[in-house]
């Protein structure tokens, strides 16, 4: 009466792992653990002998229960997923990590269920599969999950969700209550000369200018001045309603003090422009 199941994959595989052994993600590479399969599929023969084997093969988790025959494979999605877990684990006793508890489940589900249908909003801004993967963007019914990086792509400091419902348009979750908003991304390849720093309002614009070769700082609003960044050329690129934007001129004045070489760009948002055009602008400004 044994009903050998299909191979578990994706979310189903993760559920089985979660239910059987936490924290399975901490199993070291090339190591195997044997645990009790609490939910053996063949209910007539419960597993009392730790016959569920879980192996980490280069970051992919393979499992096989020799009691009920359940087997499967699970590959956690890229970086932020693991980092979020780490934050939850270390931050659970830390009340300052307050936002992550709320967003944690949604976030993990969004990454687990990431399908091939890239939301229109991303496609409209030239974000295809490759870009989605590179910046670790995820999406679900609620919206689009934009990682907020700190200096380099491997440092996550928060997540901003661009909600589909539009109210509010963005929800922002920083690592702790005290983590300042704003995303800085620096080119890590050797550039001669040093690329210019572009300051934008939104994350997607910053992603895009970064792809075009610039260092970027996304204000995630119109305040929160970056300081102490070494770039010699700094370009402020706010949305094209700059002139009418209350406070934007103030920002320009303040940044001008921090960055004497500051220039300002007044045109459509970077995220709406073709990447080739941005490359030209970044090169011209930087030369
Ligand atoms: Zn089993």
Which of 6-20, 183-197, 199-213, 230-244 is least confident?
Answer: 230-244
Q: What pLDDT, on the 0 to 100 scale, is given for residue 194?
A: 81
Average pLDDT over the chain, rounded to whole?
78
Distance (Å) from CA 113 to ligand 1 centroid: 24
| 74 CA to centre of ligand 1 in angstroms | 17
User: Which residue has better confidence, 227 or 274?
Assistant: 274
Dist. CA 115 → ligand 1 center (Å): 29
- Ligand 1 geometric centre to CA of 45 (Å): 9
- What is the distance in A from the centroid of ligand 1 to the CA of 36? 8
- Res. 185: pLDDT tops 50: yes
pLDDT score at 105: 63
CA of 55 to the centre of ligand 1 (A): 15
pLDDT tens readout for residues 204-262: 999 999 999 999 999 886 666 787 888 888 998 887 665 556 667 778 888 888 888 88
Task: Compute the distance from residue 75 Cα to the ligand 1 centre, in Å.
Answer: 20
For the chain, which residues make up each domain, given as ranges? 10-74, 77-179, 180-287
Residue 173 has pLDDT above 80, yes or no: no
pLDDT digits (tens, 9 = 90+) for 54-87: 999 877 899 999 988 899 988 775 444 455 554 4
Return the CATH architecture of domain 180-287: 3-Layer(aba) Sandwich (3.40)
Give me the mean pLDDT over the 189-202 stretch: 82
Tens digit of pLDDT for each residue in 121-152? 999 999 988 888 888 888 888 889 898 888 87
Q: What is the pTM of this model?
A: 0.66
Q: Distance between CA 145 and CA 136 in Å, rounded?
A: 9
């Amino acid at each position: 009466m044994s009903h050998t199941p299909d191979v578990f994959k994706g979310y189903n595989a993760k559920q089985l792992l979660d239910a059987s052994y936490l924290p399975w993600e901490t199993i070291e590479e090339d190591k195997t653990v044997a645990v009790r399969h609490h939910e053996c599929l063949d209910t007539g023969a419960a597993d009392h002998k730790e016959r569920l084997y879980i192996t980490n093969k280069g970051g992919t988790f393979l499992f096989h229960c020799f009691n009920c025959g359940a087997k499967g494979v699970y590959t956690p999605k890229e970086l932020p997923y693991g980092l979020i877990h780490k934050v939850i684990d270390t931050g659970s006793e830390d009340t300052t990590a307050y936002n992550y508890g709320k967003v944690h489940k949604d976030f993990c589900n969004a990454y687990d269920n990431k399908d091939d249908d890239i939301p229109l909003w991303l496609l409209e801004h030239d974000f295809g599969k490759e870009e989605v993967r590179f910046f670790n963007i995820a999406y679900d019914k609620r919206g689009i999950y934009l990682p907020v990086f700190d200096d380099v792509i491997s440092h996550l400091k928060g997540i901003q969700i661009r909600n589909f419902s539009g109210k509010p348009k963005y929800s922002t979750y920083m690592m702790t209550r005290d983590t300042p908003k704003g995303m800085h991304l620096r080119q890590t390849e050797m550039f001669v000369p040093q690329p210019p720093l572009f300051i934008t309002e939104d994350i997607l614009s910053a992603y895009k200018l970064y792809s075009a070769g610039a260092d970027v700082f996304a204000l995630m609003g119109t305040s929160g001045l970056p300081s102490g960044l070494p770039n010699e050329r700094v370009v402020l690129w706010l949305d094209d309603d700059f002139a009418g934007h209350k406070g934007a001129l103030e920002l320009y004045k303040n940044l001008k003090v921090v960055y004497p070489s500051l220039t300002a760009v007044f045109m459509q948002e970077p995220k709406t422009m073709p990447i080739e055009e941005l490359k030209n602008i970044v090169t011209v400004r930087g030369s």
